[in-house]
Amino acid sequence: METMKLMNRWIFRRGATRITGAGAALLLLLALLVGLAACGDGTPPPPPPPSATETGGAPDGGLVSPTTVVQPTAPLTPTQVTATPPVSETATLPVDGMGDGAESPTVEEPTTPLTDTGAVEPTLLPDTPSPEVETRQPLSTPNLEFGVVAHLYYTDHERALQLAKNGGFDWIRQQIVWKDMEMFEPEHKYVWDQLDPIVEATNAYGLKLLISVVQSPSPYNPMNGLPQDPVALGNFVEAMALRYGDKVHAYEIWNEQNLAHETGGTIVPEDAGHYVEILMECYTRIKAVNPNAYVLAGAPSSTGFTRPDVALSDLEYYQAMYTYKNGIIHDYFDVQAVHPGGSANPPETLWPDNPSTAEGWTDDSTFYYRHIEHVREVMEAHGMGDHQMWITEFGWATANNTPGYEFGNQVSLEQQAEYITGAVQYAYDNYPWLGNMFLWNLNFAVTWQERLEAMRQQDPANPDVQLYWNEANPAQPLHEQASFGILDGDWSPRPSFTRLQQLIAQIKAEQGR
């Protein structure tokens, strides 16, 4: 609706040139002839498609009931979005059992008009510019800001948000599983009942919300990786933007998409082009609804390993993204998300010039926090230097018993606090192109504890309970996700919480906020 209003105002301004004398008479005669010719058989023109804001929206801005569902919208037409990118014909996502070039599974779209569902109407300024990406500048934060990754589903999310607020964080990053939110039987619909209270509560606590979207529904990718059709994800993020408006402040499009299991089972350089097509679609659809929302290019996993059934190295993946179609990605994202490693290496170290003395995980730069400097070099080399980087996951594991994360057994809780605050201080002092830092994580030790206690009550002999349950210290289940946390399983703060709280307050004072 806003797009059409803006187009009309532009047409009226451009058509306001004064015409006088014989020219006016001639135009009147021509208009009369054209009008007679257009009468035809009298068939009325087709009705215009419903506008974005006409498909739902409560006048009071309130959320719908948790049981209310919203039908997915059809793909936007050229009259609704002026810069819809074409889908690549050369970057087909390989999917096991389907083969290159196979058609995507189709889903029957609703045939009945969408009805008012009470979804939140986006808050847009009256003079919002047209969503044409050619003239849009990437959004950026004026200062280094601070966020934390939280798990707010099926837990006391109010308590988690209060602790995040107490810690001085500006942002919450919540990952959502798309396949759990788009239903196909008995009807095709989106369900929002679990996300609604999270969005409302995050805003009520004065925190900004970054949503990370992962895992396609099976009809869009049988392996739940990236969707084969970019429009499918575009439909979903557009519906989310329409529902929540300015209450979702940023969208991260996928997570570590250079890993084979995130794409559909295999990963090759050409898949980066397919991801760019998805990002372009999502950017266009989100910005048409809410130009104020940040759209983040998803963060590849920090790895130097390449094998089609496992991963594509992150630097290869960045290069493939930035060179696809001569760098077309440039105009379709605000921020590049990154996930630097850390292993057991102090934040100021970097291989090979200043290597860590930790045991293992030291002989490649991707094991180090400062590897983001190499990512920045790739960005600038390919003309992406006008975009900020945000770290959407960083942290240090402590003692755990998860295979592959043994490096955490070298890091004490005090060292974790030292490394986390050291990383924040180093970024503040050295990375002017960094706009945000999301610590991994706030409360996963709590959610693991809650899960394990429930499992223990139901079945004390369950081997999974025995694997992670530590009778000597029941508040700290030893899953690696819990070991990264800055809260213990009983909600008490670890040293990293207290130290980071102090540092954030100090930096904000220096920033004047």
- Do residues 126 and 151 touch, judged by C-beta distance below 8 A? no
Residue found by looking up tokens 């609604």 in the block: 196
* Average pLDDT score over the chain: 78
Nearest by Cα to 307 from 278, 267, 347, 269: 267
Q: What is the pLDDT of residues 208-253, one digit of tens each?
A: 999 999 999 999 999 999 999 999 999 999 999 999 999 999 999 9
Return d(Cα 314, Cα 273) in angstroms, integer: 14
Nearest by Cα to 214 from 258, 179, 172: 179
pLDDT band for position 454 (cuts 50, 70, 90):
confident
**pLDDT at position 501, please?**
98
Domain boundaries, the chain: 144-511
Mean pLDDT of 146-171: 98
**pLDDT at position 10, please?**
30
Across 23-37, 51-65, 483-497, the highest mean pLDDT is recorded for 483-497
Nearest by Cα to 257 from 268, 248, 247: 268
Mean pLDDT of 365-393: 98
Percent of the chain whose pLDDT exceeds 70:
70
* Phi, psi of 145, rounded to the nearest 5 degrees: -110, 170
Lowest mean pLDDT among 36-40, 360-364, 458-462: 36-40
- Do residues 56 and 242 touch, judged by C-beta distance below 8 A? yes
**pLDDT at position 69, please?**
33
- Do residues 362 and 350 touch, judged by C-beta distance below 8 A? no
| Exposed / middle / buried, residue 19 (Cβ in 10 Å: 0-12, 13-18, 19+) | exposed
- Whether residue 27 is predicted with pLDDT greater than 50 in this model: the reply is no
**pLDDT at position 52, please?**
29
Q: What is the pLDDT of residues 203-218, one digit of tens each?
A: 999 999 999 999 999 9
**pLDDT at position 5, please?**
32
Q: What is the pLDDT of residues 87-112, one digit of tens each?
A: 333 222 222 222 333 333 333 333 22
Mean pLDDT of 24-38: 35
Lowest mean pLDDT among 82-86, 372-376, 428-432: 82-86
Return d(Cα 341, Cα 440) in angstroms, integer: 11
pLDDT band for position 114 (cuts 50, 70, 90):
very low
Q: Residue 313: CB partners within 8 Å, gap ≥ 6?
A: 258, 303, 304, 305, 306, 366
Q: Residue 99: CB partners within 8 Å, gap ≥ 6?
A: none
- Whether residue 46 is predicted with pLDDT greater than 90 in this model: the reply is no
Residue that wins the pLDDT comparison between 449 and 210 = 210
Helical segments of 127-259, H only: 157-166, 195-204, 230-244
Q: Is the Cα dihedral 122, 127, 131, 136 positive or negative? A: negative
- Whether residue 131 is predicted with pLDDT greater than 90 in this model: the reply is no
pLDDT band for position 14 (cuts 50, 70, 90):
very low
Q: What is the pLDDT of residues 459-502, one digit of tens each?
A: 666 666 555 544 554 445 789 999 999 999 999 999 999 999 99
**pLDDT at position 206, please?**
98
Across 54-58, 61-65, 292-296, the highest mean pLDDT is recorded for 292-296
Nearest by Cα to 194 from 172, 176, 173, 209: 176
Strands 189-191 and 182-183 come out as antiparallel
Return d(Cα 346, Cα 373) in angstroms, integer: 15
Residue that wins the pLDDT comparison between 11 and 322 = 322
| Exposed / middle / buried, residue 348 (Cβ in 10 Å: 0-12, 13-18, 19+) | middle
**pLDDT at position 478, please?**
87
Q: How far apart are the first and last CA of the chain?
A: 37
Return d(Cα 165, Cα 160) in angstroms, integer: 9
How many beta carbons lie within 10 A of that of residue 9, not counting itself?
11
Tell which CATH classification among 3.20.20.80, 3.30.420.40, 3.40.50.920, 3.40.190.10 matches the domain 144-511. Answer: 3.20.20.80
pLDDT band for position 457 (cuts 50, 70, 90):
confident
pLDDT band for position 508 (cuts 50, 70, 90):
very high
- Whether residue 369 is predicted with pLDDT greater than 60 in this model: the reply is yes
